Structure 1
Amino acid sequence: MQFKVIPVTAFEQNCSIIWCEETRKAAVVDPGGDLDRILSALDFEDLELEKILVTHAHIDHAGAVSTLAALRKVPIEGPALEDKFWIDLLPQQSQMFGFPEAETFEPTRWLADGDEVTVGKEVLQVIHCPGHTPGHVVFYNKARGLALVGDVLFHGSIGRTDFPKGDHATLISSIRDKLWPLGDDISFVPGHGPMSTFGDEKENNPYVKV
């Protein structure tokens, strides 16, 4: 599996394009905005967009999901059902944070812990990691040793838990109980900022180091 990270919106959110080298089929993970940049990257790599994957429904991650799905006629997978209220609030979120007007959407498939999603012939495990939002999911490709963790974990930090239905203790549990067992050598793409590995964060991240 190959991937490209494209920071989008004023929040510099790490939208990712992941794809299967054999089939050239791709998924866009968390298209928060700046669709022109996302579409240009798909065209540059000569990829066929197969679906949209969503880690959670905050505006900077999900603001352009509805538009992209309609434009390319592709299904939406994720987040977990517990984030439905955030999806319903996307129009209000866009006004609150000064984003272009965002539309609500109904995922083609709500995801749950233990589910799998496919991109071409690649398989990603779905890991429910609540705390930042109640329906937050992480996408993990074992073959590549790569996790797309949204706003659960960052290089040197963790996701905020002061939003509605956020919970600090739950977030810490998600990281330690769901992510750490995957292995220290797993690289991850966070929702913002540079990539890191779980091992580096276990050793150096003051919020979750062991």
Structure 2
Amino acid sequence: MQFRIIPVTPFQQNTTLLWCERTRAAVIVDPGGEAERILAQVAALELEPESVLLTHGHLDHVGASAEVSRTLGIPIWGPHPDDAFWLNALAEQCEMFGFPPVTAFEPDRWLRAGDRITLGDEALDVLHCPGHTPGHLVFFDAKSRLAQVGDVLFKGSIGRTDFPRGNHRQLLDSIRERLFPLGDDVRFIPGHGPMSTLGEERRTNPFVRE
């Protein structure tokens, strides 16, 4: 699995392109804004996008989803249906955070734990990791030992749980019971900031270290 991280908007959230090197089949994970930049990278890399994938329903991770989906003619998959209330409240989120207006939308397919997304020769397993939001998902490529974890875990930190229906206990359980068992060698792409490995965070992250 190949990848390119594109930090977008003043929130510097990570939009990620994931693709199969042989077929160029790709997914666009969490297009949170600046659709033109994302589309330019897709074109420059000569990718063949098949879907938009969403880890969760917060505005800074879904803001450009509808535009990217419409422009490329590809479906939106995810997040888990427990985040439907966040997608339904996109107008209120825009007003709260000073973003340009974004119309509420429903994904073409909700995703759940155990789902698998294929792109060319590659595959992503879907994990449900609630806490930051109740419907937060993680996408894991077992072959290349790479995970896209959204706002569940960061280098040296963890996701916020002070938004509506956030749950600190659930978040810690998601990290310790669903992410750490994937293996210390797994590299992860967080929703904001630099990459790390699960082993590094298990050993040093003050919020979840063992």
Please indicate the TM-score interval, normalised by the length of the shorter structure: over 0.9
- Residue number in structure 2 paired with 1:199: 199
What's the offset of the Cα at 1:118? 1.6
Matches within 5 A, 1:134-145: 134-145=134-145
Q: Work out whether 1:162 is the aligned partner of 2:162.
A: yes
SS of 2:38 mapped into structure 1: helix
Match of 1:121, as an amino acid? D
CA shift digits 1:130-164 (9 cap, x unpaired):
00000000000011100000000000000000000
- Residue number in structure 2 paired with 1:67: 67
SS of 1:139 mapped into structure 2: strand
What's the offset of the Cα at 1:30? 0.1
Give the gaps of 5 or more residues in structure 1: none
- Residue number in structure 2 paired with 1:118: 118
What's the offset of the Cα at 1:120? 2.4
Between stretches 173-182 and 63-72, larger displacement belongs to: 63-72
Matches within 5 A, 1:152-191: 152-191=152-191
Matches within 5 A, 1:12-91: 12-91=12-91
What's the offset of the Cα at 1:109? 1.1
Question: Quick one: distance in 2 between partners of 1:203 and 1:186?
Answer: 14
SS of 2:83 mapped into structure 1: helix
Whether the aligned pair in 2 keeps the contact of 1:19 and 1:25 (CA below 8 Å) is yes
What's the offset of the Cα at 1:85? 0.2
TM-score, normalised by the number of residues in structure 2:
0.98
Task: Give the alignment's Cα RMSD to 1 decimal.
Answer: 0.7
Between stretches 107-116 and 155-164, larger displacement belongs to: 107-116
Whether the aligned pair in 1 keeps the contact of 2:56 and 2:150 (CA below 8 Å) is yes
Question: Quick one: distance in 2 between partners of 1:119 and 1:77?
Answer: 13
Question: Quick one: distance in 2 between partners of 1:24 and 1:86?
Answer: 32
Between stretches 132-141 and 65-74, larger displacement belongs to: 65-74
Question: Quick one: distance in 1 between partners of 2:152 and 2:119?
Answer: 22
Question: Quick one: distance in 1 between partners of 2:40 and 2:110?
Answer: 28
SS of 1:61 mapped into structure 2: helix
- Residue number in structure 1 paired with 2:148: 148
What's the offset of the Cα at 1:82? 0.1
Question: Quick one: distance in 2 between partners of 1:73 and 1:96?
Answer: 30
- Once the two structures are aligned, what percentage of the paired residues are identical? 55
Match of 1:78, as an amino acid? G
CA shift digits 1:66-86 (9 cap, x unpaired):
111111110111100000000
Match of 1:185, as an amino acid? D
Give the gaps of 5 or more residues in structure 2: none
SS of 2:55 mapped into structure 1: coil
How many residues are paired up?
A: 210
**Moved >4 Å (runs of 4+):** none
Match of 2:42, as an amino acid? L
SS of 2:4 mapped into structure 1: strand
Question: Quick one: distance in 2 between partners of 1:205 and 1:189?
Answer: 16
